[in-house]
Structures are given as C-alpha cells and as structure tokens.
Structure 1
Amino acid sequence: MTSAALRMHAHRLGWLASMLALFCSTAAQAWGPAAHRIVAQLAEGQLQADARVKVRQLLTLSDARHLSDVANWADDLREDPDQREFARATARLHYVNFADSACRFEADRICANGQCVVAAIDHYAAILADSSRPLAERAEALRFVVHFVGDVHQPLHAGYRPDRGGNQYQVRIDGKGSNLHSVWDSRVTASARLGWSRHAERLARMAPLADASEDPVAWARQSCRLTRDAGIYPDSRNIDSAYLERMRPIAERQMRLAGKRLANVLNRALD
C-alpha cells in the first residue's frame, strides 16, 4: 500500500472512530434522561384543550415546543455554571427520604421546611395555577412540576434505606462498577432497546391505568413500598439482563402513572 493510501486509510479509520465515539457518547447521555422525557410525552398526550394551549404558551418562554423539551431542565441546571447555586438550593427537592420501611410520611421529620419532592410538587403547582404571577415565574414552575412528578415515581427517589437512594449501593453490570440508583435511572429503561419517543408511543398505546390519586404524598409512599416489596434491591450485587427484564415492567408502570398524574396536575392548574 502506498504512503498516500496509508494516509487515506488512517484518515478513514480516524473518522470511523470519531463517529463511533460520538454515537456511544450520545447514546450514553440520551438514556439518562429518557424516563423524564417519556413521562412528559405521556402527559402531553393527556392534556385537556385549555391546558394544552396554556402549556404551549408557557413553553415558548423556555424556547420549547413540547413538555419533553423541558423535562430534564431541573437536572441540567447542575451543568450550567451560571445556575449551579440555584441547582444546589433546589437539590433536596428531587427526592424524599422516608424514615423506615413503614413508609410513613412525617412532614416535620422528613420534609422540614418543604425541602422534599412532595412539597415541591405542591409548591410549584400552586405557582403554575396562579394567573397573577409573572409568566416567567409560571414557566419556571411548569419546568419544575414536569420534572418533580417524574422524580417521585422513580422508586429510589422515595426510599427509606440509608444509602442515599441507592447511590451508595454498589453493584456491577456488564463487568463494570456502578450503583443501584444509576441502574434505575438509565439501564432499566434502556433495556427496552427503544428510543425514548418510540418507548413513550408504545406505553401510550397500552390500556389506561385506573388511578384516581391526586396526592403526591401517596405517590411517594407507593414508590417507597416498591423499594421494599418489588425486588428492586437485588439478591446479588451483579446486575444481569434477567434483573433488568424483571424491573422494566415496574419502571414502565411507574412512568405511565407519572404521565397520567402529571397531566392531571397540569389540567387542574391550568383549567
């Protein structure tokens, strides 16, 4: 092979490696927030006409068209140097830590000063519903509500064990170290092998869930009981495909509940 041909071959290999790295990086980043986007898309499909119009008006203030566009904003704050202080100030609003396996909600003990996801949903839903508030404030409240309703349905955002919602529960998956929270944030949903939009479309075609709950406390307690009863904490620290297959229906039901309940929150707030 001539030197020119070698250079061309090396160039092609370099280009291929770059594209592969880009693909892998994008895939890794995309699955992390997938569940939040799925919940948002499911909710948008269940909005009443008036709420849908008002949601779109508020989304324009975020340069967004769909709820799924803002579903991860509350997490993305951490990556914005100008918003990191705000991200730290709102960090405790993403979860609630129950005291024990009874999953009792003792507000003074586990949500003091409104610093938990349950109180955050009520707080920002009230701002969203208040038409006397500035539109920018209500648009921010919409972004928080969309995210926090998703959060409270991720079981490990409402657990009771002293392991920071599974962040300190070390596991191995695909021969690499990880933690249980990370597995539930990404790998359980990713095991469906669908992009988030197609995954949402598949879930939307399922029979509607019978659910009349309007209480974020009840949602959090339900998530807490799942961490206790549903086998979320594996028997082995080695996570295999069988575990992901068992957990995915649980995660999908939680996303469907979150989508329905988020739509109900928005319909009530914007009616």
Structure 2
Amino acid sequence: MNKILKNSILVLALLSFNFGYSWGTTGHRVIAEIAQNNLNGKAKRNLKKLIGDQKLAYWANWPDLIKSDTTGVWKPTDQWHYVNVPKQTNIKQFAESLKAQAGPNIYSQIKVLSEQIKDKNTSKQDKEIALRFLIHLVGDAAQPMHVGRFEDLGGNKIKLKFFGENTNLHSLWDSKLVDFQKYSYTEFARVLDVKSKEEVKLIQTGTLEDWLYDSHLAANRIYANSVADSNYSYDYNYKFNPLLERQLLYGGLRLAKILNEVL
C-alpha cells in the first residue's frame, strides 16, 4: 500500500458516510483547467516531469472514480472529501472547530498531500497520486456543501426537486447547477478566468482555514435559502448562479496558488 494510505488514520466510525460525488465531472474539470491556466513557469516544468503532457483536468475526477474500486484499498480516502463543522459566524471559532476534528478530512489531507508533493523523499508514484488527490480536494473545498453540517450529511438528507426531478441539496450543488449552465468545462473555465492580476492575487490571499471558512459561509447562505421538499427551477439558478461561478473560479485560482508553491 502506498505511503499516502499508510499515513492516513483509518478512523471510520460516524465519519464514514458516503457524501456522494463532488462538483460532478464538469465542475472539477473547470477548477483544474483554471488552475492549469494560472501555473507559473516552475510549476509547469515540474508538473511536466511528474505527469508528462497530461492535463490537470484529466485527473480531476480520479479520486471520485476510485470509489467504485471493489478491493477496499481506497475506502479510507472517502473521508478526505469533506469536513463537517457546525454553523460558525467567525473565523476564529471555525478554525478551532476545524482543528478539533477527529480523523482525516479535507482540511487535514490538503495539508498532508501538499507536504508529500514538496518532500524530495516522496517517490514519483506517490507524488503523482498525491497530486491527483490534491487537484480534487481543493476543488471539493470550494464546493460549499463539502463544508456543510453533520446532521444532514452536507445536504444529502435535504430532499428537494430541481425542475421537477428528485434530488437533494448536496447533489444540486455537486452537479445539477453546473450542468444547467450548458458549458463544456473548457468553455466554463474560459468565461470565468478573466480577472486581472491584482484581482487574482487578492483571491489567492489567505490560509486554507480562510478558504474553507469562505465556503462555510457560502454553505450557511445556501442552507438559509434552500427549503426541503421545494421544487426549484429558474429562480434558484438566478439566485445562486453568481455564487456558483465564484466558487468555481476561486477554487481554480486557489488550486493554482497551492500548486505554484508545492511544485
């Protein structure tokens, strides 16, 4: 078993719920494509040494796809995709709640994976696997419901309809809102990635705690404006499309920031 899994704490217990897939294939590729377009020269060179000419978007959904593996080897990584924090209204309390979490989660693993990629003693194979997870988890961190609440499993238990189709709040934000925009991932990345250098720098400031708190605040807004058993359509898209686009863009630019630092 590779180094990444050996370093994981295999604590399943109450944290081992299946939170479903994240952002859907399109959303994760949008974030990866934006990150690819904002890499610096050194990161591009080191990335080429690691994965050749393949693009970040190619690996963006791999950590979700391996959930179908039947060997159980990757099962402990299910917990890496999210963190549950009760509603917080200030960054200090939120950061304390993050650090008090038991077992591996999106917060702890982004840090672990970043260090593994930077470590010269990490094998090329383990660095590549760490990169695949890092691309995906930073994307997950920008999906508000992955920084949601334990009691409803990040919105999975909040049933509703979108244009008459049964779904839940988590799935709505994972894929249905993204797919409703009818962009390919390259088109979506292109229309979002138009910020000035000064704006990009501002978006990329802050710590991982700050970024997760940003998503947590977005989740609080979504919870407050999403009523169980409702049948949403154009109204919901109108209300939340700006937030959706913001989260995808911020996820991509912040992933680029991390990759520029670790590669």
Shift of 1:100: 3.0
Bigger RCO (CA 8 Å, 6+ sep): 2
Shift of 1:96: 0.5
Backbone CA RMSD of aligned residues: 2.1
Partner of 1:56: 48
Shift of 1:92: 0.9
Decide which moves more: 92-101 or 209-218. 209-218
Decide which moves more: 66-75 or 238-247. 238-247
The question of 1:129 aligning with 2:118 is answered yes
Shift of 1:86: 3.1
Q: Give me the whole-angstrom Cα distance separating, in 2, the residues matched to 1:177 and 1:191.
A: 15
Partner of 2:187: 198
Q: Give me the whole-angstrom Cα distance separating, in 2, the residues matched to 1:224 and 1:264.
A: 20
Q: Give me the whole-angstrom Cα distance separating, in 1, the residues matched to 2:165 and 2:204.
A: 41
CA deviations 1:233-252 (Å, max 9, x no partner) are: 42462111120122121111
150, 158, 165: which one pairs with 2:139? 150
Query: Where do 5+ consecutive residues of structure 1 fail to align?
Result: 1-28
Partner of 1:104: 94
CA deviations 1:237-270 (Å, max 9, x no partner) are: 2111120122121111111111111111111112
Partner of 1:139: 128
Identity of aligned residues (%): 27
Q: Give me the whole-angstrom Cα distance separating, in 2, the residues matched to 1:195 and 1:219.
A: 26
The question of 1:86 aligning with 2:73 is answered yes
CA deviations 1:127-168 (Å, max 9, x no partner) are: 011122110011111111100000011000001361001111
Partner of 2:34: 42
| Alpha-carbon spacing, 1:206–1:189, altered in 2? closer, same or farther (3 Å) | farther
Partner of 1:226: 218
Q: Which amino acid aligns with 2:76?
A: A
Find the residue that maps to 2:160 and give its secondary structure. strand
Shift of 1:68: 0.2
Q: Which has the larger radius of gyration?
A: 1
- TM-score, normalisation: structure 2: 0.82
Q: Give me the whole-angstrom Cα distance separating, in 1, the residues matched to 2:205 and 2:223.
A: 24
| Alpha-carbon spacing, 1:263–1:107, altered in 2? closer, same or farther (3 Å) | same
- TM-score, normalisation: structure 1: 0.80
Shift of 1:72: 0.6
Q: Is the 8 A contact 1:227 1:233 kept in 2?
A: no
